[in-house]
Structure 1
Amino acid sequence: MPNESSRLGSVCVYCGSSNDADPSYIADAHRIGESFAKAGLRLVYGGGGVGLMGAAARGAHAAGGKVLGVIPTFLRGREQPFDDVETVVVDNMHERKMMMYERSDAFVVLPGGIGTLEEIVELLSWRRLDLHQKPIVFHNPRGFWDPFFALIRHTIDEGLTPPSLANAWRAVEKAEDVTPALLSWDAQVASAGEPAELSQLT
């Protein structure tokens, strides 16, 4: 049942595109995609049909949800677009990331590799610069993201990152807790009053 009180419309998922990933991660991605559809949230993702990426899109689509994929031309062969959903083909990675950002009200990070790390570091950098206040939730099965969180904490302890960045995301271990964490965050922001947009990305 869609959550009528939520202001969230679209959620971007960053995740791995490898079919060699742990099967439990791929199954969780499918369940998370389903949960978005059931909550009335559109899934925005990298457009591929492989790995966790493809599983999330298939889960949302199978459950009747809306899905938007964004994929660069040069990755179409490697990441095999999921043609059953709306897919926009762009020229390069920069266009892909900006479109995914602009079309999304919140972000969910699933297990992934170097590409996922690039995306989330950029997103957190923009957050640190007060360029956005969009919710960010990590799916952290078996502590997958703990080393990343430790690295961010290390940069905070060394005085290189402001302590406030530690509050820029939430992490949940179970797939079924991802969407409730997003909706809970959204409800808290709504009750407190949404901050004014501080800047524009260029």
Structure 2
Amino acid sequence: MTQPRPSVCVFCGSRLGAQPSYEQAATETGRMLAHRGWRLVYGAGDVGLMGAVARATQQAQGETFGVIPEHLFSREVGKRDLTSYIVTETMHERKKVMFMNSDAIVLLPGGAGSLDEIFEVLTWRQIGLHKKPIFILNTDGYWEPLRRLIEQVIIEGFADPSLGTFLTWADTVPALEAALDAAFTA
């Protein structure tokens, strides 16, 4: 009996951001997932970094699983040509479906929505609801303020030092690929 291929949930922006390197990293991530045979699980948008990662995965013949709430379908231009496509009623339901259908979580550059998503899965990990690995792709140091914030929360006594161990940081897509591979073969 063969093991199912891993699924990687990618949280990222519905905008491209200020630096071309963000879109490049999203595109490289999509290609990498497809080449490794890992399914992309994401927010089903066809805009910003979400669209870039999905299109790159598709162009490289990868499997895609998108989840979008009804109220964001027009705003995020719901991408219906995915391998699997689910429309939810709420944002919370979207996050839950994405999380339940993934084996690992990856955060690319993004805004408030991406922060909401990553903090929810990080909190779930902190309180023992899961042990899925969580990765931060720190393209051009984009997430350094987040790293400092988490360190500050620990230093000030609002979280156990173990909180910092729940995140694996990667500065490049090849480093992310190696970290994912290590997690999936452990």
Deviates more, 1:9-18 or 1:175-184: 175-184
Q: How many residues align?
A: 184
Q: 1:180 aligns with which of 152, 173, 178?
A: 178
Match of 1:65 in 2: 62
Match of 1:165 in 2: 163
Match of 2:80 in 1: 83
Deviation, 1:42, is 0.4
Alpha carbons 2:67, 2:98 under 8 Å: kept = yes
Match of 1:42 in 2: 39
Describe the shift of the 1:141–1:94 C-alpha distance in structure 2 as closer, same or farther (beyond 3 A).
same
Aligned partners of 1:173, 1:20: CA distance in 2, in Å?
17
SS in 2 for 1:151: helix
Deviates more, 1:171-180 or 1:138-147: 171-180
Deviates more, 1:52-61 or 1:179-188: 179-188
Match of 1:116 in 2: 114
Aligned partners of 1:169, 1:6: CA distance in 2, in Å?
25
> Is 1:16 aligned to 2:35, yes or no?
no
Aligned partners of 1:142, 1:109: CA distance in 2, in Å?
14
SS in 1 for 2:10: strand
Deviation, 1:19, is 3.6
Aligned partners of 1:178, 1:73: CA distance in 2, in Å?
32
1:80-119 deviations in Å (ceiling 9; x for gaps): 0222213211111011000001000001100000000011
Match of 1:191 in 2: none
Aligned partners of 2:66, 2:147: CA distance in 1, in Å?
28
SS in 2 for 1:137: strand
Alpha carbons 2:30, 2:56 under 8 Å: kept = yes
Deviation, 1:22, is 2.3
SS in 1 for 2:73: helix
Equivalent AA in structure 2 for residue 159 of structure 1 = G
When normalised by structure 2's length, the TM-score is 0.94
Equivalent AA in structure 1 for residue 176 of structure 2 = V
Equivalent AA in structure 1 for residue 60 of structure 2 = A
Match of 2:29 in 1: 32
When normalised by structure 1's length, the TM-score is 0.87
Identical columns (%)? 44
Match of 1:154 in 2: 152
Deviation, 1:46, is 0.2
Deviation, 1:7, is 7.0
Aligned partners of 2:118, 2:54: CA distance in 1, in Å?
19
Match of 1:200 in 2: none
Describe the shift of the 1:59–1:6 C-alpha distance in structure 2 as closer, same or farther (beyond 3 A).
farther
Runs of at least 5 residues in structure 2 that lack an aligned partner in the other structure? none
